[in-house]
Amino acid sequence: MTNKILVIVVVPMIEEEYNIYIPVSKSINVTIELLVKTINELSEGHYQIKNNAKLISSNGEVFPRNYTVKASGIKNGDKIILI
């Protein structure tokens, strides 16, 4: 699976963490959309779908929406935060 990486997605709103594969060639914007839908399903609706979600690194930097996952520097095993 070289076209996907496994990351830990922290979701403070519902106090949960998920191990999720994300595609490295997709933009952060598309990745956020995929994560929002996936986490909504995994949490059985506890995480509400929202259009203004952001992806943040573990050191607090917001990932630019127009970068690809690969260009943003996200690596296999990284912990990222969805707010």
pLDDT by position in tens, the chain (length 83):
479 999 999 999 999 999 999 999 999 999 999 999 999 999 999 999 988 999 999 999 999 999 999 999 999 999 999 99
Q: What is the pLDDT of residue 1?
A: 47
* Rg of the Cα atoms in the chain: 12
Tokens of 81: 């935060």
Tell me which H or E stretch contains 61: none
Q: What is the pLDDT of residue 59?
A: 94
Asked if 11 and 17 touch (Cβ cutoff 8 Å), the reply is yes
Separation in Å, CA 66 to CA 12, 36, 70, 79: 24, 17, 12, 20
Q: Domain boundaries in the chain?
A: 4-82
- Going through 1-54 in order, the beta strands assigned E by DSSP cover 4-11, 16-23
Q: Is CATH 3.40.50.2000 the right assignment for the domain spanning 4-82?
A: no
